[in-house]
Chain A
Amino acid sequence: MRNAYLVATREYAENARTKGFWVNLLMFPILLVASVKVPELLQDKAKPVRHFVLLDQSGEFEGAVQKGIDRAHNRKVAGALLKHAQVWSDPKKAPEAPDVDWTQLPADQMGNFDPSQDPLEQFEAMVGQGEIAEAFSDPAAIKAFESVLRASMKPDAPEFSAPRRDYERVELPEGVDPTAPVMEIAKGLKPYLSGGKMPGSDRGLFALVVIPPDAAQRLKRPTDGAMAAKNQQHGADGVQFWSSNLTDQEFREEVQSALDAEVRAREFERRGVDEKTVKEVQQTRIQFASFDPTKAEGDERVSIADTLRKWAPVGFVYLLFVAIFNTVVMLLNNTVEEKSNRIIEVLVSSATPGEIMMGKLMGIAGVGLTMLCAWVLSLLGVLMWFAGPSVQWAGPLLDVIRSSGLLPLFAFYFVGGYLIFAGIFLAVGSLCSTVKEAQNFVGSAIILLMVPLFTMVFVAQEPNGTLATVMSWIPIYTPFVMMNRAAADPPLFELWGTGILMAVTAIGMLWLSGKIFRIGILRTGQPPRLIELLKALRTPSKLQ
């Protein structure tokens, strides 16, 4: 045992001293921080506030478009508030008879809520229907909604801050005649539309919207015949939207739907339909909520934490894969190195092959565990640092990791998976004399190891489905797939059954690889063919 320990400490020290090890260790938290911070930065940088020119030559639609754009923004604010409330929702708070001061809400909104029900759920439904936007033009109203929603949020939830406007209207630059034909105006603005800075501004023009004088006459109705459609092809295009950015369609849609809403309102009037009645009809809805039968009674409502709980294991599967793969390749390389420079002979004259193998297994496992501990700790650290208003999922994710049994399971599956794959790689390493020979094997082994990564998403979506169940019972995939399913409470029988099968496989694999290792480490030349190997396993002296 002393020798195994000596071999283990040497292996550990040698690998823990390599640059690669430290790069691995430090890259993870850096990537983690970057994966959160970079998109945030990019969002600010990539989508700056965008300027547009709105020119209404008909004089009829300008107000409607402006209102539409405001509404779209208000809807975004409402959506952001909903997300904020969901992220910080407290599943422990009873949804029935909440302690809410409903009178804070603007008078015209009061009627939309049932005071005896959970405000978050009702708010969610309203935002889903897009009906709440009007109220959100007033900052005081936003505050009122937030304080109502606090009834179902955690006490430590941070304050909500509304997102900024994405689109801002600017005036037509001097020298461009607002009454000129569309083509001429477009021509005058072309330099700004294609990236040039507008006079007195630090940015170019994102879009030009021109509503022609006869826009009100250019309507398409479902009752229009084929003839009318044909006539329209020959005419101008009606409202013209000029922009060199073809990927961002959001603003275009906002303007278009604002105009559509306006002409529809006019249609209601023309046909003698009361618009208010239509709106009221549209706002009528059935009560609806999602429940998860696997959760404890009274706690069945689905929150964002539940969604995270479902997907967090996917992250752990990745970590598991990277950690296991990194360590077993280390094991393979070390073994081949010792073989190719014949240190193994000195080792074998100093310690038994069993001790050497055990030492290598333990030493490299130590390296892997150090790496994993560092990763998990930095993950927790980064999450704690982020947990707050800017990264709203960090807090709940932290809770998920801390509260569920994911970490112990993760440790169990790492050890099991490591032992199985270490057994395979160690045996192969002992049979190869050069790194090149070993690499051929690694190539095919990677593909085998990747299967659980390919199926990861399917397993997460259907954690107790056929694919997941079948793969769980294949011992080399058990660690990955069961980790994948961990949050979905797989049947206890499967949890224990696959766990025991994995442990038995690991022991068997180590026993077999111990036998191969004994034969392999002193062999030189080409790796043996499988048939030779099988013969040698029965009579070990054959190959020596």
Chain B
Amino acid sequence: MNDSAPAVVLRGVTKKYGDFTAVDSVDLEVPRGSIYGFLGPNGAGKTTTIRMILDIVKPTRGSIAVLGADSALKVRNRIGYLPEEKGLYKKMKAWAIVSYFAQLKGIDAKESKRRAYELLEKYGLKDFADAKCETLSKGMGQKVQVLASIAHRPEFVILDEPFSGLDPANQQVLEGVIRDLRDQGSTVVFSTHVMSHAERMCDRILLVARAKKIFDGTIPEARALIPRQVRLSGPSRELLERLPGVARVEPVEEEGAVGRFELTMADDAHPQDLLRHCFRESIELASFEHHEPTLHEVFLHLVGEEAKVASFR
């Protein structure tokens, strides 16, 4: 096994259920030590991809390597997994569940118990460590389950929709868990259809829609996919159109927005260069606003309005 190999490599992976194609020839590399987001609307094929990575489901075509092995099952003790639908043994105590799953991953009984209490305490569940799972709230149960999937300190963690169903406070705790994992050197893949989590946390993302990969790369790379826009209050439309790197100028059609324009930059141009140019040329600007496009905007740009209607809530 090659430890310098990427955590996950997918080559032309396709999964068909009868006539239905759930995943369509996806290529992917997840580098070690990164936080990788799988993004896409519901039904895009994220969960199927994850199940194939774990070798729970076999791909119809293509090859998958996980931690250098040709099947995740061969390295299962080095992997942690949180499935999309969450559930716990109702009658078991929180610490016992964490300990049980850690033991299944090869940790001995005593050590697993110690780690269970340690993790529960660290992430704010100390008082519930000895509570039966049926008495926990949904959010607490979900946190317990996340902890159960990482108590064996896996090199590679794969979390399917870890944020769904959590309140903002717990979402923040979970973000902390994921960052801690990365800091310990683990590779984390999580899927979500909420772009803001990915935006905040991911080193790289995979965008899928309708079974196909649309994009994978870093977040700046993703943002660079759509032309940047700048709003400014400036002299005249004619002058602005002559500035370097400006592709198009439109007046802002809002009330009281006389003299304000929206500039669409050329693909390779950056708003910073535009601002510098204006200083040098002593072009007076009353205001200058530039905002980075959100992943959401990138996504809409890539898949179009259709996906918005079809899938996003």
Chain A contact residues, CB within 8 Å of chain B: 2-3, 6-7, 10, 14, 17-18, 337, 340-343, 345-352, 522, 541, 544
Contacts and interface: CB of A to CB of B under 8 A. Distances in A.
B92 A345 contact: no
A337 B90 CA distance: 10
B56 interface: yes
A6 B57 CA distance: 24
B87 A3 contact: no
The prevalent SS among residues of A at the interface is helix
Contacts of A522: 56-57
Contacts of A351: 76, 104
The 5 closest A-B pairs by CB, nearest first: A341-B87, A350-B104, A345-B83, A342-B85, A349-B81
A343 B56 contact: no
B16 to A, nearest CB: 10
B219 interface: no
Nearest to B100: A10
A14 B89 CA distance: 9
B87 A544 contact: no
Given A346-B83, A348-B56, A350-B76, A341 B100 contact: no
Given A18-B91, A340-B87, A544 B58 contact: yes
Given A14-B92, A342-B83, A544-B58, A347 B104 contact: yes
A105 B101 CA distance: 80
Contact of A349 (B56, B84, B85): B56
B149 to A, nearest CB: 7
Nearest to B152: A350
A348 B84 CA distance: 14
Given A340-B87, A342-B84, A349-B76, 4 more contacts: A14-B89, A18-B91, A345-B81, A349-B72
B100 to A, nearest CB: 6
Chain B, interface residues (CB within 8 Å), range? 20 to 34
Given A349-B79, A350-B76, A352-B73, A6 B88 contact: no
A531 to B, nearest CB: 15
A14 B81 contact: no
A14 B90 CA distance: 10
A425 to B, nearest CB: 19
Interface of B: 51, 54, 56-58, 60, 72-73, 76, 79, 81-89, 91-92, 100-101, 103-106, 148-149
A349 B57 contact: no
Given A342-B86, A349-B72, A17 B58 contact: no
A133 B148 CA distance: 81
Nearest to A359: B104
A342 B87 contact: yes
A342 B83 CA distance: 7
A346 B81 contact: yes
Nearest to B85: A342
B57 A544 contact: yes
B42 to A, nearest CB: 15
Contacts of B72: 349
Contacts of A347: 104
A2 B105 CA distance: 10
- Looking at A10, A346, A349, A522, the one whose CB has the most chain B CB atoms below 10 A away is A349
14 contacts: A6-B103, A341-B85, A341-B87, A342-B84, A342-B86, A346-B149, A347-B104, A348-B56, A349-B76, A350-B101, A352-B73, A522-B56, A522-B57, A544-B58
Contacts of B73: 352
B57 A14 contact: no
Nearest to B105: A350
Contact of B91 (A14, A341, A348, A541): A14
Nearest to B54: A349
A348 B57 CA distance: 11
B92 A3 contact: no
Contacts of A544: 57-58
B56 A341 contact: no
A351 B58 CA distance: 16
Nearest to B55: A349
Contacts of B148: 346
Contacts of A352: 73
Contacts of B58: 541, 544
